[in-house]
Structures are given as C-alpha cells and as structure tokens.
Amino acid sequence: MWRIYPRLRDRWRGLLDRRLSDPTVSVWPGPAPQPPARAYVPPTERKRFYQNVSISQGEGGFEINLDHRKLKTPQAKLFTVPSEALAIAVATEWDSQQDTIKFYTMHLTTLCNTSLDNPTQRSKDQLIRAAVKFLDTDTIWWFLQ
C-alpha cells in the first residue's frame, strides 16, 4: 500500500518522527484547532457584609436599610419603592441570603433596580408597550387562553 501512496507514507513518517509532546506541533495540516468555548460562568457572588435588614419610610417611599445603611441601585441612586408590601418583599430577599449574596436569586431587587435606573431611558408608556408586546409569548398567558 505504501508503494502506491509514497507522499502519504512520507507525510505520516515525518509526523511520527516529530516530538508529539511539543504543544506547537500540529498533527493536521492548516491552522491549529480552536479551544472550546468557555462554559457559562454565573455572576460572581459577594460575601454577605450586613447583619440586619430593615425598612424605613423616606420622602419618596419606603427604603431598605442594611445595617442602617441605605440600599442603592447599581447607578448609585437611592433604592426607594412606593409600597410597603414591595419593600417587605425586597427586604426578605436580602435577608434570605446566607453567607454569600447571590444576585441572580433576587428577582424583585433586580426588577426594582431596572425600573429605578431605567438604563434604556424609556418613558412609562414605552415600558408598558414593550411589556405588552411579549404577553402573547408568555406561557402562563397562553395557558389561560
């Protein structure tokens, strides 16, 4: 068989003669294969830095206090919500964190931060239209129809 394909024989012999432990040596011709894509890494967790969570009523509504320090949004705005029930729910989310703060488990806090910071600079009507646009794709809405 090697008499029929002398180029293949010489090519494989040359490859076998190389040191295969060298990471720069490529067995296949052409560019080296790309490393696999990085796996999903969840957001970083912070160590819990507070002991007590409380609620106080301020000028704009209800505020969440972590050890008598007022909670702020990612854009450093004061975290105030209009209703006491929502403030209690957000405070419960913060109080339920154990040794580390897992932001991906605090859905109401994330929603309130987004509405307070309004990173897309949308008006109230634009936000309502954007939410209504996706109601048809909501699985609970589909189940009720």
CATH of the domain at 88: 3.30.2180.10
- The set of residues, in sequence order, having a beta carbon less than 8 Å from that of 105 and lying 6+ positions away, is 93, 97
Question: Would you say 113 and 81 are in contact if contact means Cβ atoms under 8 Å apart?
Answer: no
25-34, 48-57, 99-108, 135-144: least confident range:
25-34
Q: Nearest CA to 100 among 50, 39, 55? A: 50
Q: Is residue 88 part of a domain?
A: yes
Q: Is residue 94 part of a domain?
A: yes
Q: Is residue 99 part of a domain?
A: yes
When the pLDDT of each residue in the chain is averaged and rounded to a whole number, the result is 80
Q: How many CA atoms lie within 13 A of 18 on its CB side?
A: 14
Q: Is residue 138 part of a domain?
A: no
**Domain coverage including residue 100:** 50-123
Domains contained in the chain, number: 1
- Residue type for position 24: T
Separation of alpha carbons 117 and 140, rounded Å:
28
Q: Is residue 4 part of a domain?
A: no
Q: Is residue 66 part of a domain?
A: yes
Q: Is residue 59 part of a domain?
A: yes
Q: How many CA atoms lie within 13 A of 125 on its CB side?
A: 0
24-73 pLDDT, tens digit per residue, is 555 556 666 666 777 766 666 789 999 999 999 988 899 999 998 999 99
